Structure 1
Amino acid sequence: MAISRTLTYSLLATCIACALAPAAQAQSTNTDAAKNKKATELQTVVVTGTRSYDRTEADSMAPIDVLSPQDLKNTGATNLATALRTLLPSLNFPQPSVTDATDATQPAQLRGLSPDQTLVLINGKRQHSTAVLNVNGSLGRGSSPVDLNAIPINAIDHIEVLRDGAAAQYGSDAIAGVINVILKGGAKHGSASITGGQYDTGDGDTWHGGADGGFKLGDGGWVHLSANYMHQDPTNRAGPDPRYPADPTFNTVTFHYGLPQTKAKQAAINLQYDLTPNAQLYGFSLFNKRNVSSQGFFRSLSTYASQYPNAVAQYPAGYLPVENSAIRDDSEVLGVRGKIGGWNYDVSYNTGGNHWKMHTSNTWNYSLGADSPTVFQIGTLTNRENLFNADFSRDVHFPGMDAPVTVAWGLEYRHEQFEIKQGDGASYACGPVLGASGYPSCGGQVFSGYTPTDAGSHSRHNRSAYLDLESDLTYKLTAGLAVRNEHYSDFGSTTSWKASGRYAFTDTVAARATVSTGFRAPSLQQEYYSSTATNFVNTGSGLVPVQIRTFPVDDPAAQALGAQPLKPEKSHNYSFGLVFTPANGLYATLDAYQIDIDNRIILSGNLTGSAVQAYLLSAGFTDVGGGRFFTNAVDTRTRGADLVATYPWYLQDGSTLKFTGGMNYNKTDIRKIADNPPQLGLAGLTLPIIDRQEQGRITVGTPRTKAFVGADWSVNHWTFHSQATRYGTWTSRGSSASSDQTYSAKVLLDLSVSYAQSGWTFTLGGNNVTNVYPEKNDANNNYHGILTYPLTSPYGFSGAYYYGSVAYDW
């Protein structure tokens, strides 16, 4: 381990030295120009985490990252989550495979916490979550976060990432932080681009094209439009299938294990119109339609010829079922803002939803025999949120205070609705044909359809009110206080608060700190989702496919297994940081944090084994080998630190070198696991509700460290970009310690070169140009050598990706 770390840090040091070499001979002595440039960069006004209108990135009381469109372009990414993974040291974005709907809506994590513990805003307005619930063995299991990749990347003006708890300011979900996406606006500017790329092995061809532009709306407004299209062919890193020597597919690649085939159409509209000098109409809308085709577990029929002759006749060489997800996502906001009676006001209505529909193809329902279709409509999940916001703020001057107090308050009403629509009858049917167990193998293979029992519509509403105070108490001291109360129709009221402060020791060094409480309400998906699907279960001697039932917590079978009504998560956040802004242009921040979460909502482990199967059989589930449900059984503590720095270097020849760097250390421990409820014993079962595999996803499933260093050299019409990123070790746990596997740290290198002339920009680049892969799975985790790499890899497992693009800006 020590040798690996030494080698890694030596490589990073070498990258820095190589980048500095050309500048060492030509550093400019024009320090005034450097100061002016640096001052402009650090005076970017931020709107996230503050109600003040003049707070900047450098003097904010909590850590904020501001990402520009150029930052996003430099990543070479065609979707937002991949770009954020490259730019933010505290963000983790695995790209799992063979995880059903999670293949289509891959979640991202901030500070190692659950993906649904990060709040996402668009132009400061809450974005709805996805309808999909991640229920398989990927990180983010049990969450329904915002689908970041539904946001068109070419519609983004910039992004503000608040790395701090903010539930008192924005409400539920803002435990790990807030990602605020600001859309492009105005009538004067626009752009168009096309990008093509391919992976080193010759697969995964990707085409991405987009355009945006604005025009005037009368004499007092503008409309800005964006459109985007992306097509990505799949990658496949599955190993050959050695299971059945008598099969015609023996030792050939029968599985798909890699990125899915994806087609996405996206659009955005952003508008503003001055109704009067004190009233401004504004609105925006986003639309995303994405079709994703991924595969499940290959079915070999050589050993089932006598049991299922009709399936063998249809698929003599076996079959690979295909899951086809159709995702539709929309957001609409319309509001009026302005000033009246000395108060700034913003009144808006926000509606948005996510619609996920799946059909499976190249599959079979064994229980139907010759009557089985090969295509099934599995069903539909929809999630809809409607919000009404009224926000007010003004600066109030109090006697004895040199600076005014920004007083902000507001009200919000939110209505949520989650619906499951059943699949076609054949997708879940239990026909007359029996399997080897003596019971029918019910439902379409790979993903059984949602049944009439699964189907249903569920809704709730909540009301909230907040008060936020912020002021420069002295020339050096800034302080803020926020309080928020929310009342939910399904579990009652909760109140959270946040206190913030910043003290400038000098013009160069400042300290900042926050203390806050937070909460996250259980989502409707976590309360009411139910389905049956095939999961890989690590039994200690290898991965085994098992039919697993996800129960809603109010199901009698789930309650007998230990389920109880869900409660909201409660958190306590603490942070302390230093800001360093010397006159030479360096901007560096170091922030330490601790996040305690009580009653954390976790999807239980897959409860399997003969005792569980016998119980489920007695409850009427004849073709289910295990069950799971949501629970508040875990308290956790996350501790870590973020180091972020930028340094522009202005040279005598007019060129510029800009260095960026960041590092995150993050460690989560489980402080408490609740005792199993007494009703579990009544069913004759002695099981850990939170098994060691689920504990491992929380504590060691993500790298404890992630660091990057980058350099951009702009000279004449050329820009050279490089970034080296080190991902630390992480562990995949099995049902016993003997089946655990720890994956070593790796360094990935991204390079690109651009030439700009007369509005045109031509770029050639490569991500992971050294073609780094994670370590291969061992025998306990690779399913006969077929599933070659870990689906939890923080940088995927597709290898090097090369791309070229042409863009025009006006």
Structure 2
Amino acid sequence: MRRSLLGLLVIGCSPFALTAAALAQVVTTPPQETASADSQASDAADPQKDILITGSRIAGRTIADSPVPIDVIGGDQLTNGGYTETNKLLTQLVPSFNFPQPSLTDGTDSLRPATLRGLAPDQTLVLVNGKRRHQSALLNLNGSVGRGSGAVDLNEIPPIAIDRIEVLRDGASSLYGSDAIAGVINIQLSKRPGVRGSVTFGQYRTKMDGVNNVTGVAVGANGQPVVAAAGGGNNDLLQLNYGDERVRHDGDTLTLAASIGLPMAEGSYFVFTSQFRDRQPTNRSGADPRRQYPTIGDPRELTFNRFSHGYGDGLTDDYNLFLNAGTTLGKYELYTFGSYGIRDGIGAGFYRRANDARNRDFAASTTTFVPYYADGFLPKIQSEIEDVSIAGGVRGDFIDGWNGDLSVVYGSNKLLYDTIDSFNVSLGGVDSPKRFNAGGLAAGQTVANLDISHKFDVGFFKSLGIAFGGEYRNENFRIFRGEVASYVAGQYAARGAAPGAQVFPGFKPANEVDVSRDSFAGYGELDADVSDRLSVQLAGRYEHFSDFGSTVNGKAAGRFELVRGIAIRGSVSTGFRAPSLAQQYFSTTSTNSTFVNGVATLLDVLTVPVSSPVAVALGSKPLKPEKALNFGGGITFDPIPGLSLTADYYNIRIRDRVLLTENLTGTAVVNLLNANGIVGVSSARFFVNGADTKTEGVDIVGTYRLPDMGIGTIRLTAGYNYNTQSITKRAVLPSLPNIILYGRAESIRLTNGQPKDKLNLGIDYDNGPVGFTARTNRFGKVVSAGGSSDLTIPAGQASTDFTLQPKWVTDVEVRVKPIQGIEFAVGADNVFDVYPTKSPAGGAFGNNAYFLPYSSLSPFGFNGRFLYGRVAFDF
């Protein structure tokens, strides 16, 4: 549902503006403009001296003396580019961060997950202002990186609202609890006074590599379309005549962003930010050479638009509002921050041809094939995501040097689905609507924290600090049913008609769920500078969950400076991730119709909770938390002002990873279900503690701010990540010992579906009114596996694996400030119009790659060159 931007901004701004006005009336001190309130701190002469928020509960650590690797990205780096999505910006700046952009993956098209160090999206903890951010309601179930996991939607946080981002690349469950296996991303919101804003408009202007236009269908002497390859049935491939490579001008993206920071007394701040983004769809489909119509030789084959699929970014409208406010009362700071966001998206499914059984209108004829849509149809999923968060707390010197922070944070994410331009074949053309309310998902979280810290003055240590605290968390997960027509098996199901709305059947009443759980945690930390050269950190955490019990985790880290400017550091820690409520309770049903002995039979293909009778009958067990053991070690080099170079090795071993099984099917499955009194079910999948894995790699990060030579400021950045993953142990179901739970294709996606290595290089130049930014990223090879549920390729069967070769993607931007406070910028993301390796098509590889020419595993997407311009103001 599209909304009036002006109306939303007025509604959002009014209560905040009134509150701010009331606060401003009591200000008697002149407005303060200190570096500590803004990303200017991150952009200071020596960024190594920035005080870190992440990695310790005890204040005072800097980047330079941290015993664990932490990247700090200033707000200015997030706004110097054409992309206005936080995930896309992070993948340009953090070498171990990956943000693939899949298509044809249902709800994942609108809410794409990101990963750190190649692990699952839900194995990285996200904080905002140091407080846990809630996850999205979406569970990624289709063929994308992160299958079976949920994620925090970082794109709900507009770059203009961010002061800086701290990326902790080390396990931190002992400090922050569940999810912090790969690391922590902490987003610090801006406290900056003043009025800022920007208008950015861009468009993809690209030539599709290896994809050509079609000038027509080849016609034989008989006047009929020429069949290039006979596939049998309606899968014959027609011979097409091709022209030049296909040129696309699409994906128009308009972004309006604004930030208002009111002048406040010293120690107080009130910043309200908003962003609206309208992104039109892109289409990178190739020509579909398959026969489209039921009758061979149908003359419409000659005029049909062969670029019928929708493959690329969907249509998306984003509305995001953020508030960050605080005031000092004596020794205490009262603070609040929150957000409200709406995303309306439309993503395409697979095109249904006119001759497709899923397009048959039984109401028109039960004896001959009559299509409902005469030329086929492209069903779509329309999603509306509503995201809400509010936090409040008080911190300060509670008792004579003992600092405390008491806070409560609530967050929720709700995802509603409509299936549009679709058809329920089993209802027939008379009774089936074209638009269906398919139901939805919702997830909520409430977190209360009390954190206490104190630094002691002891003679035998240079510095000694302790921290301890507790946390209460409540989580909720819900599934809403869709309208009856979206899932029902209608009167024509007995004739073999597919039930439910095409592309996304609605959730059934049996899928509805409303579940909650609680957890209680306590932690302690000791942080000591033993001397000028040696620092040590120890931490431990106990946490109890109402649904699976207790866990204890610990961490030890240290740093030793060998000589001035050169130090070694290392850490060892245990970690955990609690299986999410969605992984425990998600369910959906798609009903397939098949003929047995000439009689149409309805069989349910189920995604079921682990506790359901179907899963229990097949041998499921209650999910256990994932357990991790993290080792890390590295060296830091910063003997020269402005220069920092770090190299860190990591080794992450995870036991009992929570994975979604294959669709378990076959005679053994059906017999076992029947033996347990369950009939009419032919296939099911559910979550299991399916595998142990090992992740190993190296991060190298360097930054250098050149000395001032009178020609402007020059900052160089470089980052490199090398990452390998392997499955060290696989689970089996004792009741089905010969059934593979996690097959070859999914295994390769987990171990090789993200870049083996990645290199980031960047240069930022500013000289008064003129600025320039260039960034280039090399994405290493990725393997796309053929669709096999076996662990090895069967004898005599050709391999359908292929490798996406390494690619360089370069972004450039030029900025000019004609007058103080106004900036104009033009730039190009992917300036050299690079595409991923084209997917092979035909033969053993099948026909899909003819019209889906690029793999969704591409780590930089497949949209091509994006040109943009920006006007920004800052007063």
TM-score (norm 1): 0.90
Could you say if the C-alpha distance between residues 306 and 44 of structure 1 is closer, same or farther in structure 2, counting changes exceeding 3 Å? closer
Distance in structure 1 (CA, Å) of the matches to 2:673 and 2:144: 25
Could you say if the C-alpha distance between residues 261 and 608 of structure 1 is closer, same or farther in structure 2, counting changes exceeding 3 Å? farther
What are the Cα deviations for residues 600-647 of structure 1, in whole angstroms up to 9, with x where unaligned?
A: 11111233557657878998786x874321110200010000000011
Contact conserved, 1:560 with 1:680, CA < 8 A, in 2?
no
Distance in structure 1 (CA, Å) of the matches to 2:251 and 2:270: 36
Letter in 1 for 2:385: I
Given candidates 718, 729, 734, the residue that maps to 1:678 is 734
Give the deviation of 1:108 after TM superposition.
0.1
Matched, 1:751 2:805: no
What are the Cα deviations for residues 55-109 of structure 1, in whole angstroms up to 9, with x where unaligned?
A: 1111111101100111112232111100001111001100000000111110000
Q: How does 1:233-382 map to 2 (within 5 A)?
A: 233-246=280-293, 248=300, 250=304, 252-275=306-329, 277-302=330-355, 304=357, 308-310=362-364, 312=370, 314-342=372-400, 343-369=402-428, 370-382=430-442
Could you say if the C-alpha distance between residues 234 and 547 of structure 1 is closer, same or farther in structure 2, counting changes exceeding 3 Å? farther
Contact conserved, 1:81 with 1:148, CA < 8 A, in 2?
yes
What are the Cα deviations for residues 362-391 of structure 1, in whole angstroms up to 9, with x where unaligned?
A: 111111112111111111211010111111
**Alignment-derived partner of residue 581 in structure 2:** 524
Contact conserved, 1:208 with 1:228, CA < 8 A, in 2?
yes
**Alignment-derived partner of residue 826 in structure 2:** 764
Distance in structure 2 (CA, Å) of the matches to 1:718 and 1:533: 58
Structure with max Cα Rg:
2
Distance in structure 2 (CA, Å) of the matches to 1:297 and 1:496: 46
**Alignment-derived partner of residue 107 in structure 1:** 113
Give the deviation of 1:727 after TM superposition.
0.5
Contact conserved, 1:553 with 1:630, CA < 8 A, in 2?
yes
Contact conserved, 1:242 with 1:784, CA < 8 A, in 2?
no
Distance in structure 2 (CA, Å) of the matches to 1:100 and 1:678: 33
Q: Structure 1 regions of 5+ residues with no counterpart? A: 1-35, 536-545
Give the deviation of 1:190 after TM superposition.
2.9
Letter in 2 for 1:197: G
Q: Does the residue aligned with 1:680 lie in a helix, a strand or coil? A: coil
Give the deviation of 1:660 after TM superposition.
0.7
Matched, 1:194 2:199: yes
Letter in 2 for 1:236: N
What are the Cα deviations for residues 674-714 of structure 1, in whole angstroms up to 9, with x where unaligned?
A: 2x222226xxxx32001111111111111110002111222
Distance in structure 2 (CA, Å) of the matches to 1:549 and 1:498: 41
**Alignment-derived partner of residue 418 in structure 1:** 477
Contact conserved, 1:296 with 1:446, CA < 8 A, in 2?
yes
Letter in 2 for 1:485: Y
**Alignment-derived partner of residue 553 in structure 1:** 610
Q: How does 1:481-496 map to 2 (within 5 A)?
A: 481-496=538-553
Could you say if the C-alpha distance between residues 688 and 337 of structure 1 is closer, same or farther in structure 2, counting changes exceeding 3 Å? same
**Alignment-derived partner of residue 153 in structure 2:** 147
Distance in structure 1 (CA, Å) of the matches to 2:803 and 2:849: 19
**Alignment-derived partner of residue 54 in structure 2:** 48
Which has the higher mean CA deviation after the structures are superposed, 646-655 or 113-122? 646-655
Q: Does the residue aligned with 2:851 lie in a helix, a strand or coil? A: coil
Distance in structure 2 (CA, Å) of the matches to 1:732 and 1:548: 26
Letter in 2 for 1:284: F
Could you say if the C-alpha distance between residues 554 and 809 of structure 1 is closer, same or farther in structure 2, counting changes exceeding 3 Å? same
What are the Cα deviations for residues 309-329 of structure 1, in whole angstroms up to 9, with x where unaligned?
A: 559564111111110010000
Which has the higher mean CA deviation after the structures are superposed, 59-68 or 305-314? 305-314
Contact conserved, 2:618 with 2:672, CA < 8 A, in 1?
no
Given candidates 664, 671, 686, the residue that maps to 1:607 is 664
Distance in structure 2 (CA, Å) of the matches to 1:611 and 1:744: 40
Q: Does the residue aligned with 1:453 lie in a helix, a strand or coil? A: helix
Q: Does the residue aligned with 1:679 lie in a helix, a strand or coil? A: coil
TM-score (norm 2): 0.83
**Alignment-derived partner of residue 191 in structure 2:** 185
Q: Does the residue aligned with 1:798 lie in a helix, a strand or coil? A: coil
Give the deviation of 1:457 after TM superposition.
0.3
Distance in structure 1 (CA, Å) of the matches to 2:169 and 2:714: 27
Distance in structure 1 (CA, Å) of the matches to 2:579 and 2:863: 35
**Alignment-derived partner of residue 250 in structure 2:** 203
Q: How does 1:390-789 map to 2 (within 5 A)?
A: 390-398=450-458, 400-434=459-493, 438-532=495-589, 548-583=605-640, 585-608=642-665, 626-650=683-707, 652-674=709-731, 676-680=732-736, 686-734=738-786, 735=788, 737=793, 738-756=799-817, 757-779=819-841, 780=845, 783=848, 785-789=850-854
Contact conserved, 1:107 with 1:115, CA < 8 A, in 2?
yes
Contact conserved, 2:665 with 2:682, CA < 8 A, in 1?
yes
Distance in structure 1 (CA, Å) of the matches to 2:485 and 2:43: 66
Give the deviation of 1:563 after TM superposition.
2.4
Could you say if the C-alpha distance between residues 625 and 802 of structure 1 is closer, same or farther in structure 2, counting changes exceeding 3 Å? farther
Distance in structure 1 (CA, Å) of the matches to 2:673 and 2:735: 15
**Alignment-derived partner of residue 538 in structure 1:** none
Could you say if the C-alpha distance between residues 215 and 716 of structure 1 is closer, same or farther in structure 2, counting changes exceeding 3 Å? closer
Give the deviation of 1:440 after TM superposition.
4.5
Distance in structure 1 (CA, Å) of the matches to 2:306 and 2:666: 32
Could you say if the C-alpha distance between residues 781 and 768 of structure 1 is closer, same or farther in structure 2, counting changes exceeding 3 Å? farther
Letter in 1 for 2:204: Y
Contact conserved, 2:587 with 2:607, CA < 8 A, in 1?
yes
Contact conserved, 1:526 with 1:552, CA < 8 A, in 2?
yes
Could you say if the C-alpha distance between residues 175 and 755 of structure 1 is closer, same or farther in structure 2, counting changes exceeding 3 Å? same
Distance in structure 2 (CA, Å) of the matches to 1:306 and 1:463: 55
Contact conserved, 1:517 with 1:570, CA < 8 A, in 2?
yes
**Alignment-derived partner of residue 30 in structure 1:** none
Contact conserved, 1:391 with 1:410, CA < 8 A, in 2?
yes
Letter in 2 for 1:397: D
Could you say if the C-alpha distance between residues 562 and 533 of structure 1 is closer, same or farther in structure 2, counting changes exceeding 3 Å? same
Distance in structure 1 (CA, Å) of the matches to 2:588 and 2:370: 27
Q: How many residues end up aligned between the 2 structures? A: 754
Q: Does the residue aligned with 1:368 lie in a helix, a strand or coil? A: helix
Contact conserved, 2:361 with 2:372, CA < 8 A, in 1?
no
What are the Cα deviations for residues 211-260 of structure 1, in whole angstroms up to 9, with x where unaligned?
A: 00111467873311001000000110111222225364656112101001
What are the Cα deviations for residues 641-665 of structure 1, in whole angstroms up to 9, with x where unaligned?
A: 0000011223533323221111000
Contact conserved, 1:607 with 1:628, CA < 8 A, in 2?
yes
Matched, 1:97 2:103: yes
Give the deviation of 1:430 after TM superposition.
1.1
Contact conserved, 1:782 with 1:788, CA < 8 A, in 2?
no
Distance in structure 1 (CA, Å) of the matches to 2:356 and 2:631: 58
State, as a whole percentage, how many aligned pairs show the same letter. Answer: 42
Letter in 1 for 2:309: F
What are the Cα deviations for residues 118-176 of structure 1, in whole angstroms up to 9, with x where unaligned?
A: 00000000000000100000001011111111112211111000000000000000000
**Alignment-derived partner of residue 31 in structure 1:** none
Could you say if the C-alpha distance between residues 313 and 731 of structure 1 is closer, same or farther in structure 2, counting changes exceeding 3 Å? closer
Contact conserved, 1:782 with 1:789, CA < 8 A, in 2?
no
Contact conserved, 1:605 with 1:693, CA < 8 A, in 2?
no
Letter in 2 for 1:240: A
Contact conserved, 1:359 with 1:379, CA < 8 A, in 2?
yes
Given candidates 80, 87, 107, the residue that maps to 1:81 is 87
**Alignment-derived partner of residue 27 in structure 1:** none
What are the Cα deviations for residues 17-46 of structure 1, in whole angstroms up to 9, with x where unaligned?
A: xxxxxxxxxxxxxxxxxxx99863211111
**Alignment-derived partner of residue 871 in structure 2:** 806
Distance in structure 2 (CA, Å) of the matches to 1:359 and 1:61: 49
**Alignment-derived partner of residue 132 in structure 1:** 138
